Amino acid sequence: MKLELLFFSVFSFCLAYAQKEEWKKTDNGDLLIVYHSNGKVSTEIFFSNKVAYLEQGYAKAWDCNGKLIYEKPVSRTGMISSVFFKYYDNGAVKSAEFSSHPDAGIQWYREWTSFNEEGTITDVQKQRYDDTFIISIPENSKEEYLKTQQKKKEKNQ
């Protein structure tokens, strides 16, 4: 009995400090809400259930005082985009990863935003398709290409 009481006490303690999240179904879509330990809303992600092309929802984050600190669109059609939040133990947003893949084509964009526990942005890193573009040159024309680049460089100096 003592072991069961100890287990129950530890389990209850862990639940009390766990992040609270809630899924709500609305007429327009699904809403995921995560709360700060003080009971205020930390994040909301709304996924629209409409199938219209370019239909968008949203992802929002607030600091523990209720000030909006982050907002991005989310979508399942057209401008496909999503946000993934990570949290501190108190429910405050630690980071937000925004990812976009328009029209499911070859272009893409990704952005990582980091926050301190007070909700201030501490870092933003961005990456996109154009940043990783690589020119592939056939081996037999590599020397010719390098000579051309060297001539351009010399001409500009």
Domain membership flag for residue 53: yes
Domain membership flag for residue 115: yes
DSSP letter assigned to residue 134? -
Domain membership flag for residue 121: yes
Domain membership flag for residue 83: yes
Total count of domains within the chain: 1
> Domain range for residue 38?
25-156
Query: Taking the CB of residue 52, how many other CB atoms lie within 10 A of it?
Result: 9
Domain membership flag for residue 6: no
The reported pLDDT for the residue numbered 5 is 37
List of residues 6+ apart from 65 with CB closer than 8 A: 40, 119
pTM for this prediction: 0.68
140 half-sphere exposure, CB direction, 13 A CA radius: 0
Domain membership flag for residue 74: yes
* HEC sequence for 23-59: EEECCCEEEEEEECCCCCEEEEEEEECCCCCCCCEEE
pLDDT digits (tens, 9 = 90+) for 45-62: 998 888 777 778 999 999
Q: Which stretches of the chain score pLDDT less than 50? A: 1-18
